[in-house]
Chain A
């Protein structure tokens, strides 16, 4: 179970301050320990971001074969925004709807595992993580089978007239949102579970002794106490969901394409690096703006 117990939650108590170095020769040791890993991250994560930033300002008329000239073409940004704002809006719209769905599904699940499952707790936790044991793409393709026009689900929905006789589930926004919700739900549930697991049930009993209704007890006790996990889980869900393009590609049509699809094709199909880089940076900036706006509203900036 160690694997499950230690899934990063992105939050949690700060570790206790380590003791001061005992003698002089320990002074350098931490730097030696950090050097290889930090260098790797700097060279292959930090430097590339700078590289991407400069690529986004290249002259857009260049190409991969003729080479790009650095012309500080800030015009790339308004250009791509003008061309692809619907995909941007759609990305955040789909990710937002999926997030609401995931919260509605994930909160009861995390709560049940943390507070109600008793000795089944570990088993249920394995069930939450288990989907990740199968390849992400293979699972997403499985949804294609489930939602297929000839499948049992579509047949049932047509029979009860929830779906028109020629109605489809696949290749609709619904399928994409369902896929997003499904794929990133465990990332929301695990940190939420970690928070709820520490919740002392006696606090709820106290609330009810003081005449709080269950709803009020939830709103004033459970919810605030689960806030760190809720915030971490929301971010771990929202960041990959808004940058995803696999669900839109496999379960949707070009009408459902998200910004990720555009970036993917800019880099790998159209080979338009300045445009792809500008879009990537806008995506990152938009996500950071959403994240920080959210954290400010949630009132816990120390999460980061």
Chain B
């Protein structure tokens, strides 16, 4: 019995590591190909080691233009979606009002609708309303599909918050604004930051919805899509690898901060063990 369970335990872990390998494989290939000098423009195979791609990531200038445009769109869409979504999350967690279930459906549906349907329907709207497609139609589309994810993320953080901290502040004669500014906001901020990062990554990486609503404007994913037909410049892999490294760095930093915060909490004592905290 014990032997078989030992085996069963290891079996699960071994499968898990293999699956993680499957998930990691393409990233290793992308990183490898970023050092490749391809034999021809249409070849996807590793040919020869070179550092040129990293030295001149913008050798194909259209690509860097597309990256810059993606960052701009991602930034604007993230700011708008984070503000709209955070306001909605506050309303949903902190207030009781009529029509709550309708709002919940409205927030849930975009996450359950295939991207293709959202992209095509928005295109149908823009075309029939005579809106010229371009930078701003992309921003509108991105805000639309990011909002729901922001709401869900901020809501989770707000719902797990200990209300008594705010009550304590009010008891200590803080005004409502002071309470919000000094207690509520700092406590919710990690959730808002997480939501913003999620929104940015969704926006930066979106292809399907963007492709329908971009007109002639080219974002980075659209550039890659077009290049896949004409031949991919190896610099695409440099951008892919760099994005991965930056994201990993951000996660590392935030987990380091989280650890430090937890240690500080531990020193602060009883707050940590308050029963109102959601067990996670």
Give residues in A with beta carbon < 8 Å to B.
1-8, 10, 15-21, 26, 29-31, 33-34, 36-38, 40-42, 44-49, 51-52, 55, 64, 105-106, 108-109, 111-113, 116-117, 122, 124, 126-128, 130-146, 148, 150-151, 182, 185-186, 208, 214, 235, 239-240, 242-243, 245-246, 250, 260, 263-264, 267-268, 273, 276-277, 280-281, 283-284, 287, 291, 304
Contact = CB atoms under 8 A, between A and B. Distances in A.
B244 A130 contact: yes
Contacts of A3: 194, 197-198, 251, 254
Given A30-B94, A267-B123, 14 more contacts: A2-B190, A3-B254, A44-B141, A52-B124, A116-B13, A126-B251, A127-B23, A133-B244, A134-B26, A142-B26, A148-B45, A240-B115, A245-B116, A276-B120
B44 A141 contact: yes
A277 B124 contact: yes
B95 A40 contact: no
Contacts of A283: 114, 116-117
Interface stretch (B54-62, B151-159, B179-187): B151-159
A44 B97 CA distance: 24
Contact of A146 (B25, B96, B111, B156): B25
B218 interface: no
Contacts of A143: 26
B193 interface: yes
Contacts of B258: 1-2
Given A3-B251, A48-B122, A260 B116 contact: yes
B79 interface: no
A135 B112 contact: no
A8 B120 contact: no
Interface of B: 1, 4-5, 8-9, 12-13, 15-16, 19-20, 22-27, 29-30, 33, 44-46, 83-85, 87-88, 90-97, 103, 106-118, 120-125, 127-128, 140-141, 143-144, 147-149, 151-153, 155-157, 159, 190-191, 193-195, 197-198, 201, 204-205, 207-208, 211-212, 220-221, 224-225, 228, 232, 236-237, 239-241, 243-244, 247-248, 251, 254-255, 258, 280
A64 B115 CA distance: 23
Contacts, number: 289
A113 B195 CA distance: 23
- Secondary structure class of chain A's binding surface, majority of residues: helix
A34 B87 CA distance: 6
A8 to B, nearest CB: 4
A216 B267 CA distance: 44
B156 A6 contact: yes
Contacts of A42: 106
Given A108-B15, A130-B27, A250-B228, A51 B128 contact: yes
Contacts of A19: 96
B113 A6 contact: no
